[in-house]
Amino acid sequence: MPQRPSSPAADEILGLYFPVLDHGFVALVDYMGTDGCVERAARVSYGYGTRQQSLTRGLLRYLRRHHHTTPSEMVELKFHCCMPMFVARQWIRHRTASVNEYSGRYSLIPLLYYTPAAEELQLQSATNHQGRSGAPVTPAQYQEVCARWERSRQQAGEAYEWMTGEGMARELARIELPLSTYTQWYWKIDLHNLMHFLKLRVDPHAQLEIRRYGEVMAGMMQRVAPLSYEAWLDYDVDGARLSRMEREALARLVEVGPEGLRVREGATLDAAALTALGLAPREQRELAEKLELRPPSRFELRLSDARPASAFEERFAAAVPKAERAPRDA
């Protein structure tokens, strides 16, 4: 009987917890399948272990390049994640996973809160209505913000602890806890939908806090399916989709011949020419960003960062409110 397909690099990190932010973590709990399983799903006419890795790589890259996604749905990854509630609310918008979240109705919520580092507390962007400007606040402002957060969190935590201590329903005691409070869940997703999720969440335009989770999970995906990960980087993360107008603009600059690509002599395109092609000013800026050369993306785990589960269990256990009294009789 053939053994279950496995990846030694993934097996090495099973059960290890990688810190994210100040109290969060991501752990790869389990996985089903590897790059070979993606190939076998695409080529159902042959048996296990009959292909060379070079052929596997070529097929996986073809599948990714041409958006043939069903074979990659045959691989699944299961994570244990802990994140601030505002990150969880962004995360859960991806409706392509099985999720089981920590229940504040059933269990007492650990009173742990996320606090951004000084350099991450920034002014509102003037051009991006849902992002930061890149300019940190002053040290005095940061201290004042932290002091205000501490006061409001302490008040909310004391109210929660008093209500649960009086035996009141946990489902109501929790409602004043801030969005910075940490929650956690088990999150199971197939490889294709994971790659879609991570493409959006490692993007520089995504909120920094959820990007940090995406970067760790991308490193875990690399260990499960390194060839799929490589294709995902090349075609999704570091690749770009071109519109009809963008393709026409590039065709005016470059011609294709029997010997390959050649720059058209004297060809230029100014803003007026791009506008005439139908590209709005924002689209022109986006085209410039697509063509800007950047270092290739890399998301590799550092094993030295890993912690045993007990390290987080102890921290969260210490933050759980004192045991409540027995509920009073009606």
**Is 201 assigned a catalytic role?**
yes
Give counts: helices (H), strands (E), the chain. Answer: 13, 9
Its sign, for the CA torsion 41, 46, 50, 52, is negative
The beta strand positions in 33-163, using DSSP E, are: 76-84, 98-101, 122-124, 132-136
Residue linked to tokens 């100040």: 22
How far apart CA 92 and CA 94 sit, in angstroms, is: 5
Q: Are 172 and 163 in contact (CB under 8 A)?
A: yes
How far apart CA 308 and CA 326 sit, in angstroms, is: 34
Residue among 201, 223, 247, 298 flagged as catalytic = 201
H or E element at residue 18: strand 17-20
**What is the identity of the amino acid at 46?**
Y
Cβ neighbours of residue 15 under 8 Å, at least 6 residues apart?
Answer: 27, 29, 308, 309
Look at residues 19, 14, 42 and name the one whose alpha carbon lies nearest to residue 30: 14
User: What DSSP line would sit under 110-136, residue for residue?
Assistant: P--B----GGG-EEEPSS-TTSEEEEE
Q: Are 184 and 101 in contact (CB under 8 A)?
A: yes
Beta strand 24-32 with 76-84 is: antiparallel
Q: Are 162 and 75 in contact (CB under 8 A)?
A: no
Active site residues: 201
